[in-house]
A and B are shown apart, each in its own frame.
Chain A
């Protein structure tokens, strides 16, 4: 430890001016964080500061690591009595003392000044730890600063490419994990973290650069491409949270219902290689005011001739239904008719003559159960409206006809998985809570026209009152929280799928 402190002190001496500038940057960030609930216009400045902060943090960490460069055979320190673990500990201490601690402290101060108990939030800390691990390992497997920068650029480009092409190459299911996205991301992050930790250990302990580079590239690629296994991830959610309010829900095929009663236009994703089939299902037992979020469905078809088809866990199609054109068909309230949409491979459909042959269909549907909404009434306009403990909302009117709604939360977790702005109880505008800026999570319905929100609470309806003459003076935001996850299996025999064939393919749910 003594050696680590000596090396740390040397690194601090070396970077004292950049460190001073960095801490000034942190202080500015803290001030803006503190003002954010009352001046949500500062979100932009905070975003810019955030970018500066991350760039500066990466630069500081890199420079610290490069003081004892690993690759090469000319460095003076290689033949000095510096224990490898002390060198590594010095770099870790540098990260903790001069990056993580200031982040935690500035966040705590900003929250405290806004009357929020600064409960520790580990999300930014874990993010910074991961970035620190990435920077340390990237710096340890590169020889020069140019190589390091190129590595970052490659990482960025591969990330963009992966995000762009993943859906096209690996299918829609590869990118849309629904509620299981958190588990998916956690697993990917864990793999990347393990790879980075192995790289750091290998480099500092053994200077095994070739192996380390392979590990580094493999870890990054796996984390970007993502590991498969949606159902495994969803099972983790089921185990962790249980069925919640969805334990009473029952799902069954409802073959007595007429097939042609499906509302709305058919899906837009028409493909020649699939046949879209829509079979009526009945969903009962949904708690009052509760909502089910339809996740994925797996369907298996068995023919009398012994042929078998398995869709796998698919997010395209699935359990759908909507009470009106505005509603999200994946939000199941039990107030309308529902269908199971299946996209069957045309080759199997034709060769097994599913159109006329009675077959056995077994489906398993996965759901998230959402709580009844917590309703907040917000005046328009308002600033730093204390919605719930630790949450602030601001609404401003833009050009007399648009609303800018920004809400800040002291913790990303407290805002639930999604926020729905609605008033009528029918239309809901989902806003994912994903951004974290400074001490606060922020979610916004930026530039949302009141008409788009269908705020009937404000006595306004897009279809009934297309000519808005005055801006409403209040609005309602409802928050639903996920209470559990569960699956239901349902079976029917002797179905002639031709009766339920509904065009060339079933549509992507989100395109409705």
Chain B
């Protein structure tokens, strides 16, 4: 699958602070790629470097097969970018804003723009400066969807929005961006869990992992072993078995490389007297907590 975004050893420094370190990332075409991580992890910096708003300190990045440092009008005509705290021309009405932008985009679809206005319930005659935060985000999103971009980059689009507005935005986004690659950053997993196809976890400027959400969910299992008598956690367990703990006759660990056949076989070899093996699926939030703990322990 082609990558709409590709970075290699990308880094960004602000004075003496490393905001991004050795970031290698691929966002497949047509995917909904969620870039998640705690506040200050480097998500916004990554997107701003990709959008040529910030210059990288090292490495390289390509967006739509163009070096991100050379992104210009031809590429931006195919990219939508919506960010929290984005400065908009507050004096313009919603209608004027869309009318002003229209001639800059060869693929602008008036009918789609009108439909977006209706769907987001945006008042055409209201000035952008007079809109609520949620409405501003809707206006920004509408103005970025109306030309059917190949890529939409959304930087923390749902921060500070109530659940209803967030759902409306997600609904509008998914309904109108069928053939669009979406890169969305968020520090809240619950926001993106329901619709992201790929996920990358960024922590302290480093990409800890990046893969399909389905694969990620599939390879993480909480494994519970039941014994006849209490026993301690032995040393020398595989590296993919993390957070092992013994509670009476039960040992619990998380397998980060779960396999329906190989994992039970490995369990039997490490725990010959095991009476029962129960692999449980994990919610995404639990997976990320596991990863965050692991990466911090490693750091």
A residues with CB within 8 A of B? 2-3, 6, 10, 13-14, 67, 69, 72-76, 78-83
User: Which of B52, B53, B86, B100 meets A6, CB within 8 Å?
Assistant: B100
Beyond A73-B48, A74-B85, A74-B86, whether A79 also contacts B76 by CB under 8 A is: yes
Question: B105 contacts A76, CB within 8 Å?
Answer: no
Beyond A10-B100, A73-B53, whether A79 also contacts B87 by CB under 8 A is: no
Question: A79 contacts B51, CB within 8 Å?
Answer: yes
Determine how close the nearest CB of chain B comes to the CB of A145; give it in whole angstroms: 14
Inter-chain contacts of A74 with B (CB < 8 A): 83, 85-87
Using A73-B54, A82-B104 as known contacts, list a sample of 19 further A-B pairs with CB atoms less than 8 Å apart, ordered by residue number in A: A2-B103, A3-B103, A6-B100, A6-B103, A6-B104, A10-B100, A13-B96, A69-B87, A73-B53, A74-B83, A74-B86, A75-B87, A76-B86, A79-B52, A79-B53, A79-B76, A80-B76, A80-B101, A80-B104
Question: A76 contacts B53, CB within 8 Å?
Answer: no
User: Which of B54, B72, B77, B89 meets A76, CB within 8 Å?
Assistant: B89
Task: Count B interface residues, CB 8 Å.
Answer: 26
Inter-chain contacts of A80 with B (CB < 8 A): 76, 101, 104
Give the docked Cα–Cα distance between A13 and B53 (Å): 27
Inter-chain contacts of A69 with B (CB < 8 A): 87
Beyond A2-B103, A83-B72, whether A72 also contacts B77 by CB under 8 A is: no
Beyond A81-B76, A83-B73, whether A76 also contacts B87 by CB under 8 A is: yes
User: Within residues 172 to 209 of chain B, which ones have a CB less than 8 A from any CB in chain A?
Assistant: none
Question: B74 contacts A81, CB within 8 Å?
Answer: yes
Question: B105 contacts A81, CB within 8 Å?
Answer: yes
Question: A3 contacts B87, CB within 8 Å?
Answer: no
Q: Scoring B residues 32 to 75 as 1 if CB is less than 8 Å from chain A, else 0, what string do you get?
A: 00000000000000001001111000000000000000001110
Determine how close the nearest CB of chain B comes to the CB of A220; give it in whole angstroms: 26
Give the docked Cα–Cα distance between A80 and B97 (Å): 12
Residue of A nearest to B96 (CB): A13
Question: B87 contacts A81, CB within 8 Å?
Answer: no
Residue of B nearest to A14 (CB): B91
Question: A81 contacts B86, CB within 8 Å?
Answer: no
Inter-chain contacts of B117 with A (CB < 8 A): none
Determine how close the nearest CB of chain B comes to the CB of A83; give it in whole angstroms: 5
Give the docked Cα–Cα distance between A82 and B74 (Å): 9
Residue of B nearest to A13 (CB): B96
Inter-chain contacts of A67 with B (CB < 8 A): 89
Inter-chain contacts of B77 with A (CB < 8 A): 81
Residue B19 interfacial (CB < 8 Å)? no
Inter-chain contacts of A3 with B (CB < 8 A): 103-104
Inter-chain contacts of B250 with A (CB < 8 A): none
Inter-chain contacts of A72 with B (CB < 8 A): 87
